[in-house]
Amino acid sequence: MIRPLSLWGRGKGLALALALLASPALADGLIDNANGYTFDGKGQLVRFNGLLIDDQGKVARLLDRDDKRPEKLDFRLDARGRTVVPGLIDAHGHVMGLGEAALSLDLSGTNSLAEAQAALRAYAADRPTPPWIRGRGWNQERWGLGRFPTAADIDAITPGRPVVLDRVDGHALLANTAAMAAAGITAATKDPAGGRIERDAKGKPTGVFVDAAQELIRKAVPPMLPRDRDAALAKAQEILLGFGITAIADMGTSGEDWLVMRRAGDAGRLRVRIISYAGGIPTLLAVAGTGPTPWLYDGRLRMIGVKLYDDGALGSRGAWLKAPYADAPGQTGLSFLDDTKLRNLMSRAAMDGFQTAVHAIGDAANAQVLDAIDELAATYKGDRRWRIEHAQIIDPADLSRFAKHGVVASMQPVHQTSDRLMAEARLGQARLGGAYAWKAMLDNKVPLAFGSDAPVESPNPFPALAAAVSRQDAAGQPPGGWQPQQSVTLAEAFRAFTATAAYAGFAEDRIGTLTPGHMADFLILDRDIFTAGIADLRTARPLETWIGGKRAWTAPQGGQASSN
Amino acid sequence: MIRPLSLWGRGKGLALALALLASPALADGLIDNANGYTFDGKGQLVRFNGLLIDDQGKVARLLDRDDKRPEKLDFRLDARGRTVVPGLIDAHGHVMGLGEAALSLDLSGTNSLAEAQAALRAYAADRPTPPWIRGRGWNQERWGLGRFPTAADIDAITPGRPVVLDRVDGHALLANTAAMAAAGITAATKDPAGGRIERDAKGKPTGVFVDAAQELIRKAVPPMLPRDRDAALAKAQEILLGFGITAIADMGTSGEDWLVMRRAGDAGRLRVRIISYAGGIPTLLAVAGTGPTPWLYDGRLRMIGVKLYDDGALGSRGAWLKAPYADAPGQTGLSFLDDTKLRNLMSRAAMDGFQTAVHAIGDAANAQVLDAIDELAATYKGDRRWRIEHAQIIDPADLSRFAKHGVVASMQPVHQTSDRLMAEARLGQARLGGAYAWKAMLDNKVPLAFGSDAPVESPNPFPALAAAVSRQDAAGQPPGGWQPQQSVTLAEAFRAFTATAAYAGFAEDRIGTLTPGHMADFLILDRDIFTAGIADLRTARPLETWIGGKRAWTAPQGGQASSN
């Protein structure tokens, strides 16, 4: 065994590396003949040919082509020139939500009612239990149906089994007759305030429940069974590993989520590393108590802080803006927390050494959080790494304020490509200078961490890397990229998805780079992403995902990773 | 290291023991010259002189005086003839409640208002935080006060700090002016249904809130801080270890409690072994999911089942009786669960292999649970160890039914001595034949586990052992013992507090007896309880408490254990 030396983490270890070379018999594993990339202590991309792993699953040493290989190894893998990179770290995701969404029926790709009916039939046949069927993603406009779907459209497909299908926008759901019966819905049920029940000519509910009326059905849906929660976590991990995500910041862990994660840890079923941010102060205090938890389960789980929400989202005009929405004069969005409440919540976490990660999308929300940090930083000194999640719309005058207290900008490249047209409508051309402003963050020396916001977007980081360097969506739109001055280099984007994402979670001493003493979390890729064009970058996939020096995931035969 | 051999647990290991004797150099520790007692595989009390401990903290071997001692030992403790016994296991306690009660102000020993005022002053001076002061145990009758105490009686003692003091019976509380102000209580506050606010001649609340009115104050008390919860768990463990309790069944673990326990486990602060029964099905499923958790933290924590409540208590006439209360004609107590609901809850736990522990005090409640077990045992076969907690008042006709499906009677000896006069009043002489019927349980081959119900009673097991053999309270009342035909021998009582308490929690393969391969959890006592008289038994104390082969607690100098 090669004992990890903590001082190696800063790139000072050349002499020690040479010293260790004298006792190669202690090394346990070698990934050899790799086209390897990682970052050095200065954040510069560096190359390696061999990756030596110790018996603790940590990086023992990086080897050049000419370095002598140890003679005694427990295993040796010939990468045959394949590209090897550090495992990617998703700085902002929702682990249980990802798994739950993946296990429910996905109708977002259906182009007709008939396609949706077929998908429901197949899904139900595959899953005889639990009785209730949940799904999402239908859109009667896309179907060209000319009307809302009805319970009658789906009743015959799953006799006796309640079905609840969310519309693509989450503002309506379709329930079948069994679900309505379970919820006690009759013609006598009244529309609730803020909601509407679709009805036939005789006043009988037809199956669609709009906005607040959805709750009439949702409250009847049984809570998830423990085995389904366990399955959701397992599914989420399988998806993440298949996309090369070896660690993820879980943004808003509930108490229930935490217990599912611990159960998995206790049973040795935690595969991906999870950096947990509690979904609110009560959960934070109940779980972690008086300070961040230690790293649990061999570095697989840690609760380090709290996720707070300061405003809504841009699409629903909930993002809190300094000036009114361009497409809704007089509206400036939703401020969830006043100055005092925001400071009190952040303070409650910070006083016990917890990190805060505040959702702020609009420029007013971002300014409010920056103001709060300005004030709190005077009390809570030291290395705090205040995080702003999304940081989507920034007043250019505020961009330089992030760096002042080392605020981390935790951003999601794919949101830019998804939101582009909507952002133009909401903000108007004059306010786009600080929108999704990745390059401006880097120029201002702001730690920039990238993530997916899965399941809102796919957790696949390769399309995100492509978006980051091109400001173009998967179809290559718009030509030349949207606000292309905010694009970053691939090395910068990759660092935001690895080293800085680790830094954002106080984990840069163990993950994010392949550095002696750090965890041997790495990917063997199907192509060299650093020499690939945008289209090839976007479709890159891991062949193998390794965590802690062990192979955690292998692409299905043929080298094609799962696309789920 | 001596590897534990699981087949030793059944007393079959003599040949193997002799074989191991050939390699004594592997042993790590020896408690020598002990006046040792434990139980053999048949539940018979056996003696030993030396206790050999392996490097996993398990019992390697028991030695007679003439057995050769290993030559190489990491440590050797000369017990100098002191009595060494297995650690005691409390089969029914409330760990967090014990700690919380111990950290609050205890007025139960005060004999006057002046004494209580002095106690409050001292308590507040010792604890500048948290601002709110909680206490309990006052009794204006015992004080000879001739009236209820008032806020004015205590306002000057803790200026500005809210104080809430529960009456000894929990049916009233005293709040000071600061607490009433925080709760928004004014002369205009109305008495709630089922409650009464004591008032002066002008209608102004004087500080005492009776029954349902207590909630008006309690809802204003801030939730416990994480550090106070952590402190409560630490305090509970310190108390338990000081009384020689090395493991405890926590009856009704809340989700919050569980998180506190895990936090302690993660930080290496779990000292006592806790066998957890969730406080209801939702908590059980959220925490443990699809089956009992593994033993966590080196055998310190496991959630194995659920605690359910089938009726109330005898004192408040909540115990559900087959015939009316002798002192309240027409009343038969409270049935909390109908037959169907009880079966459904037990079934939900049993279907995933969880154990059920049902609180049943009255004879009707006990019969209902036995009926349910009769039915459920047909579906849920195998070794289920259905538990009935308290099993206080049993229809003699039902006594033989416990053994049928191996139902465990989990009983608390001190309840008998505390309840004696009240039980006679509630039940009348004719119904005492199946009351606190420990001997009848043993005669019927029912597994009998003993516990304390702490903090309702002291967790000190030695007065409980004395009560079990004498049916007398600490004052030796009544002469000859109450219903003395139900007393048990000390060996029987001790087995109920060790081997059978372990069996009741599916832990007899690791704790409860000093058997090779089991955990080395043991006590060095200040006297030989098996030769002591009742009074000496009652005041026995551990000098040292060992858990997992390590000294976990030592009596304060002078050999006097803490009496807290």
Whether residue B254 lies within 8 A of chain A, CB to CB, comes out as no
Residue among A311, A302, A361 at smallest CA distance from A341: A311
Whether residue A208 is found in the same domain as residue A340: no
**Using CB atoms within 10 A of its CB, is residue B338 exposed (0-12), middle (13-18) or buried (19+)?**
exposed
Whether residue B263 lies within 8 A of chain A, CB to CB, comes out as yes
Q: In this structure, is residue B173 part of a structural domain?
A: yes
Whether residue A210 is found in the same domain as residue A321: no
At residue B27, the pLDDT reads 54
Contact partners, residue B448, CB within 8 Å, separation at least 6: B408, B409, B411, B438, B441, B442, B488, B492, B496, B500
Task: Tokens for A429, please give them.
Answer: 């051309």
Whether residue A480 is found in the same domain as residue A379: yes
Closest CA of chain A from B299, distance in Å: 13
Do B230 and A267 count as a contact with CB atoms less than 8 A apart? Answer: no
Task: Using pLDDT thresholds of 50, 70 and 90, give the confidence band for residue B218.
Answer: very high
Out of B183, B218, B253, a domain closes at: B218
Whether residue B214 is found in the same domain as residue B321: no
Residues of A in contact with B296 (CB under 8 A): 266
Q: Rounded CA gap, A276 and A301, in Å?
A: 7
Do A262 and B263 count as a contact with CB atoms less than 8 A apart? Answer: no
Whether residue A291 lies within 8 A of chain B, CB to CB, comes out as no
Do A289 and B263 count as a contact with CB atoms less than 8 A apart? Answer: yes
Partnered with residue A175 across adjacent β-strands are A164
Closest CA of chain A from B229, distance in Å: 9
Whether residue B156 lies within 8 A of chain A, CB to CB, comes out as no
Residues 309-368 of A with CB under 8 A from B: 352
CATH code of the domain in which B138 resides: 3.10.310.70
Output DSSP code: residue A6.
G
Do B226 and A285 count as a contact with CB atoms less than 8 A apart? Answer: yes
Whether residue A397 lies within 8 A of chain B, CB to CB, comes out as no
Closest CA of chain A from B363, distance in Å: 35
Q: Rounded CA gap, B545 and B85, in Å?
A: 10
Residues of B in contact with A286 (CB under 8 A): 226, 255-256, 259
Closest CA of chain A from B256, distance in Å: 6
- Best A228, A285, A293 member to test B by mutation, with max B CBs in 10 Å, is A285
Residues of A in contact with B224 (CB under 8 A): none
- Contact status, residue A413 vs residue A454, Cβ threshold 8 Å: no
At residue B9, the pLDDT reads 33
For residue A382, count other CB atoms closer than 10 A to its CB: 7
Please tell me the pTM assigned to this model. 0.89
Q: In this structure, is residue A118 part of a structural domain?
A: no
Whether residue B296 lies within 8 A of chain A, CB to CB, comes out as yes
Do B260 and A294 count as a contact with CB atoms less than 8 A apart? Answer: no
* Cα-based distances in Å from B264 to A281, B257, B273, B554: 20, 11, 12, 21
At residue A456, the pLDDT reads 86
Do B289 and A255 count as a contact with CB atoms less than 8 A apart? Answer: no
Instruction: Tell me which chain A residue has its CA closest to the CA of residue B227.
Output: A290
Contact partners, residue A53, CB within 8 Å, separation at least 6: A27, A28, A29, A30, A31, A59, A60, A520, A549
Q: Rounded CA gap, A339 and B140, in Å?
A: 49
Output DSSP code: residue A556.
P
Instruction: Tell me which chain A residue has its CA closest to the CA of residue B262.
Output: A287
Q: Rounded CA gap, A172 and A213, in Å?
A: 8
Q: What is the dihedral of CA A234, A235, A236, A238, to 10 degrees?
A: 90
Adjacency order of strands within the sheet including B542-547:
B45-48, B35-39, B83-86, B522-525, B542-547, B550-554
Q: In this structure, is residue A363 part of a structural domain?
A: yes
Secondary structure (3-state) at A112: coil
Whether residue A267 lies within 8 A of chain B, CB to CB, comes out as yes
At residue A558, the pLDDT reads 54
- Contact status, residue B254 vs residue B241, Cβ threshold 8 Å: no
- Mean pLDDT, residues B161-168: 93
At residue B558, the pLDDT reads 54
Whether residue B334 is found in the same domain as residue B476: yes
Whether residue A229 lies within 8 A of chain B, CB to CB, comes out as yes
Q: Rounded CA gap, B42 and B23, in Å?
A: 28
Residues of A in contact with B96 (CB under 8 A): none
At residue B315, the pLDDT reads 84
Residue among A149, A218, A147, A153 at smallest CA distance from A180: A218
Do A263 and B227 count as a contact with CB atoms less than 8 A apart? Answer: no
Whether residue B333 is found in the same domain as residue B479: yes
Q: In this structure, is residue A250 part of a structural domain?
A: no
Task: Tokens for B336, please give them.
Answer: 């909390």
Residue among B48, B52, B53, B51 at smallest CA distance from B36: B48
Residue among A353, A356, A362, A344 at smallest CA distance from A252: A356
Output DSSP code: residue B3.
P
Task: Using pLDDT thresholds of 50, 70 and 90, give the confidence band for residue B130.
Answer: confident
Whether residue B114 lies within 8 A of chain A, CB to CB, comes out as no
Per-residue model confidence as pLDDT tens for chain A (564 residues): 333 333 333 333 333 443 344 444 445 999 999 999 999 989 899 999 999 999 999 999 999 999 999 988 999 999 999 999 999 999 999 999 999 999 999 998 899 999 999 999 999 999 998 899 999 989 888 899 999 999 999 999 998 999 999 988 777 899 999 999 999 999 999 999 888 999 999 999 999 998 889 999 999 999 889 999 999 999 999 999 999 999 999 999 999 999 999 999 999 999 999 999 999 999 999 999 999 999 999 999 999 999 999 998 888 889 999 999 999 999 999 999 999 999 999 999 999 999 999 999 999 999 999 999 999 999 999 999 999 999 999 999 999 999 999 999 999 999 999 999 999 999 999 999 999 999 999 999 999 999 999 998 999 999 999 999 999 999 999 999 999 999 999 999 999 999 999 999 999 999 999 999 999 999 999 999 999 999 999 999 999 999 999 999 999 975 443 333
Residues of A in contact with B294 (CB under 8 A): 266-267
Whether residue A131 lies within 8 A of chain B, CB to CB, comes out as no
CATH code of the domain in which A375 resides: 3.20.20.140
Closest CA of chain B from A516, distance in Å: 27
Do B288 and A262 count as a contact with CB atoms less than 8 A apart? Answer: no
SS (H, E, C) B12-49: CCHHHHHHHHCCHHHCCEEEECCEEEEECCCCCEEEEC
Q: Rounded CA gap, A121 and A114, in Å?
A: 10
Whether residue A331 is found in the same domain as residue A448: yes
Q: In this structure, is residue B331 part of a structural domain?
A: yes
| Cα-to-chain-centroid distance, residue B263 | 22
Instruction: Tell me which chain A residue has its CA closest to the CA of residue B289.
Output: A226
Out of B158, B192, B218, a domain closes at: B218
Handedness of CA A524, A528, A534, A535 (dihedral sign): negative
In percent, the amount of chain B with pLDDT more than 70 equals 94
- Contact status, residue A275 vs residue A246, Cβ threshold 8 Å: no
- Mean pLDDT, residues B274-303: 97
Residues of B in contact with A293 (CB under 8 A): 263, 266
Number of domains into which chain A is organized: 2
Out of B218, B235, B266, a domain closes at: B218
- Best A290, A298, A301 member to test B by mutation, with max B CBs in 10 Å, is A290
- Contact status, residue B541 vs residue B462, Cβ threshold 8 Å: yes
Residue B284 has pLDDT above 60, yes or no: yes
Closest CA of chain A from B227, distance in Å: 6
Whether residue A325 is found in the same domain as residue A180: no
Residues of B in contact with A226 (CB under 8 A): 285-286, 288-290, 352
Q: In this structure, is residue B425 part of a structural domain?
A: yes
Q: In this structure, is residue B208 part of a structural domain?
A: yes
Residue among B29, B194, B173, B168 at smallest CA distance from B111: B168
Task: Tokens for A528, please give them.
Answer: 């060299």
Task: For B435-488, write each residue's pLDDT tens digit.
Answer: 999 999 999 999 999 999 999 899 999 999 999 999 999 999 999 999 999 999
At residue A27, the pLDDT reads 54
- Contact status, residue B86 vs residue B512, Cβ threshold 8 Å: yes
At residue B142, the pLDDT reads 87
Whether residue A289 lies within 8 A of chain B, CB to CB, comes out as yes
Gyration radius (Cα) of chain B, Å: 25
Adjacency order of strands within the sheet including B88-93:
B88-93, B245-253, B273-278, B301-309, B355-360, B387-390, B408-411, B448-450
Whether residue B464 is found in the same domain as residue B321: yes
Whether residue B212 is found in the same domain as residue B360: no
In percent, the amount of chain B with pLDDT more than 90 equals 85
Using CB atoms, which residue from A226, A296, A352 is nearest to B290?
A226
Whether residue A320 is found in the same domain as residue A205: no
Q: In this structure, is residue B86 part of a structural domain?
A: no
Tally C-beta pairs within 8 A across A and B: 56
Secondary structure (3-state) at B65: coil
Residue among B225, B228, B132, B142 at smallest CA distance from B182: B132
Do B255 and A286 count as a contact with CB atoms less than 8 A apart? Answer: yes
- Residue A17, phi then psi, degrees to nearest 5: -60, -40
* Cα-based distances in Å from B408 to A354, B78, B373, B445: 45, 38, 12, 10
At residue B316, the pLDDT reads 83
**Using CB atoms within 10 A of its CB, is residue B3 exposed (0-12), middle (13-18) or buried (19+)?**
exposed
- Contact status, residue A13 vs residue A5, Cβ threshold 8 Å: yes
Whether residue B320 is found in the same domain as residue B444: yes
Q: What is the DSSP string of A126-189?
A: H---SSSEEEEEE-HHHHT-SS---HHHHHTTSTT--EEEEETTSSEEEE-HHHHHHTT--TTP
Q: Rounded CA gap, B546 and B84, in Å?
A: 10
Closest CA of chain A from B289, distance in Å: 5
- Alpha helical stretches, state H, B289-355: 339-350
- Contact status, residue A50 vs residue A516, Cβ threshold 8 Å: no
Closest CA of chain A from B237, distance in Å: 18
Q: Which domain holds residue B319?
A: 310-485
Whether residue B230 lies within 8 A of chain A, CB to CB, comes out as yes
